[in-house]
Amino acid sequence: MGLAGLSIAVAIRPVEAQEAASQAWTPFVLVAGLLLIGMVADDEGLFAAAGHRVARSARSGALIFVSAAALVGVVTALLNLDTAVAFLTPVLVYTARSRGEDEAPLLYGSLLFANAGSLFLPGSNLTNLIVLGNLHLTGGQFFAHMWAPGLAALLVTAVVAAACGHRAPGTGTEDRTSPARPELGLGALAVVVATILVVVLRSAALPVAAVGVGVVGARIASGRERLGRPVEVLGLPVLVGLFGVAVALGTLGRSWAGPADLLSHLNLWSTAAVAAVAAVAINNLPAASLLAAHRPPHPYPLLIGLNLGPNLFVTGSLAWFLWLRTARGAGARPSLATASRLGVVAAPLSMIAALGTLVLLAMR
């Protein structure tokens, strides 16, 4: 479907399709690099060690939950929300099982936290980069503007998940095995380098991708990684399909004035609401390409809707599909209905918190 849409866009509107592709390719290249770096970090045991430390150092379930929210928020900010759900969901399931506690709050929290924590840096979410194509900001400049709304969204989401998540059915069994000691090698170094690149550079996609390919290539050359695993982690068919849809809708947004006219008549709050609805209707990445084909009048509220709205339903973001796959791989039985019920509460409240914080900061 994605490639078909891309082909039609190129055939009918080649100039607009080229512009849309120029805006959309960098986010996909960046997330590919971050996923590869996350894979190496996971292979070296960094995520498992972090979960083990959370499980062993926290004295109460509440403190574990807060620590888990912070962990997901940090990994999402630095390595993208898709990396966070792909590698931290099994870790958080283990964290709960290692203490013999209900895994449901952390299982569902891992998804909600990742979407909510994707407002901190450009690379935290592909939608940030698509919209940022019209803003030309460095990662540091973006963080300075969005850290407070992002933190407000993450805190509200954590409160909702903590209050409602314990009612979800627990599905795990106790597991008190300990992970191996983490290896501080290429993975840790790559995380540090990628973070610096994302914060400092206006376009970090190619450098970060080069770091990801380099560390994975080094592991393959040393015989410590099989050749097919990077392809599995990247989920290339899904990424390529989403890229095709994003370019097709970006082309539509450049050829049809409807989306731009609509956004020009909306205030901050209604912009975020429209973005959230669009994200659930067509996925947040294609929605970002459609709504940001031209410079939006309210880019930050647009991002709040595109990033937090996906917590409403499985169609909202790629993170949902990665979460389902990795959760089932960890032996959990996640329920889409339960996750959506939590999201229906968390998404609007976190959007209100983020937008309210944005407005307060603008008034200072």
Residue 180 is classified by DSSP as P
What local confidence, expressed as pLDDT, does residue 12 receive? 81
Mean pLDDT, residues 348-355 taken together: 97
What local confidence, expressed as pLDDT, does residue 146 receive? 94
What band does 332 get if pLDDT is binned at 50, 70 and 90? Answer: confident
Cα(258)–Cα(293) distance, integer angstroms: 11
Helix (H, G, I), strand (E, B) or coil at 135: coil
Q: CA 36, 107, 302: angle at the middle one, nearest 5?
A: 65
Cα(303)–Cα(145) distance, integer angstroms: 12
Burial status of residue 173 (CB atoms within 10 A of its CB: 0-12, 13-18, 19 or more): exposed
Question: 163 versus 143: which is more confidently predicted?
Answer: 143
Alpha-helical (H) ranges within the chain are: 2-12, 14-43, 46-57, 61-79, 81-98, 104-116, 126-132, 139-165, 186-200, 205-221, 229-234, 236-255, 258-264, 268-282, 284-291, 299-308, 318-329, 336-363
Please say whether the beta carbons of 175 and 330 come within 8 A: no
Alpha-helical (H) ranges within 117-235 are: 126-132, 139-165, 186-200, 205-221, 229-234
For 209-245, how does the pLDDT look when each residue is reduced to its tens digit (9 = 90+)? 999 999 999 999 988 888 888 888 887 888 888 888 8
Cα(62)–Cα(167) distance, integer angstroms: 15
Mean pLDDT, residues 267-280 taken together: 96
**Cα atoms found within 13 Å of the Cα of residue 79, Cβ hemisphere only:** 30
What band does 45 get if pLDDT is binned at 50, 70 and 90? Answer: confident
For 242-269, how does the pLDDT look when each residue is reduced to its tens digit (9 = 90+)? 888 888 888 998 888 899 999 999 999 9
User: Does 175 score more than 60 pLDDT?
Assistant: no
Please say whether the beta carbons of 308 and 350 come within 8 A: yes
What local confidence, expressed as pLDDT, does residue 170 receive? 44
What band does 115 get if pLDDT is binned at 50, 70 and 90? Answer: very high
